[in-house]
Amino acid sequence: LGWACWKTYLGRAEADLCRMDAMRTLGSALLESQRTAEALQVHEANFTLAQRYFSHNRKFILIVQHHIAVCLMQLGRDDEALVLTRMIHASFVSIYGVSNEETICAGLHV
């Protein structure tokens, strides 16, 4: 299903949100299929595009980084994942404050 979603939106511009969401869906499907290294590559490519076209949307960037952190954890790269999840949580704290629901959820992953 993830691959079909990606193929549907592949022809759209790099900055198209549907295309980027299709990449996220593909990465998540690969992760669920235990193809973690491939999922990491997809999420890293999505992160590069997010930085290029949506650097103004900090929350979007943080969500993409969260997917990378999940892949790193699944690959046993715990030190890298921990650094990234701490940075994500700190960013949510600085954007939304400590009492925000999204900040608290981000803190659960640390």
**Residue 13 neighbours by CB distance under 10 Å:** 8
Percentage, residues of the chain above pLDDT 70: 96
In tens, the pLDDT along 14-56 reads 888 888 888 999 999 999 999 999 999 999 999 999 999 999 9
> Looking at residue 51, what is its pLDDT?
94
Q: Is 48 helix (H, G, I), strand (E, B) or coil?
A: helix
> Looking at residue 109, what is its pLDDT?
67
Residues 6+ apart with CB under 8 A from 59: 95, 102
Calpha distance 59→76 (Å, rounded): 26
> Looking at residue 1, what is its pLDDT?
63
> Looking at residue 11, what is its pLDDT?
82
pLDDT category at 106 given cuts 50, 70, 90 is confident
Would the pTM of this model clear 0.75, i.e. be above it? yes
**Residue 94 neighbours by CB distance under 10 Å:** 11
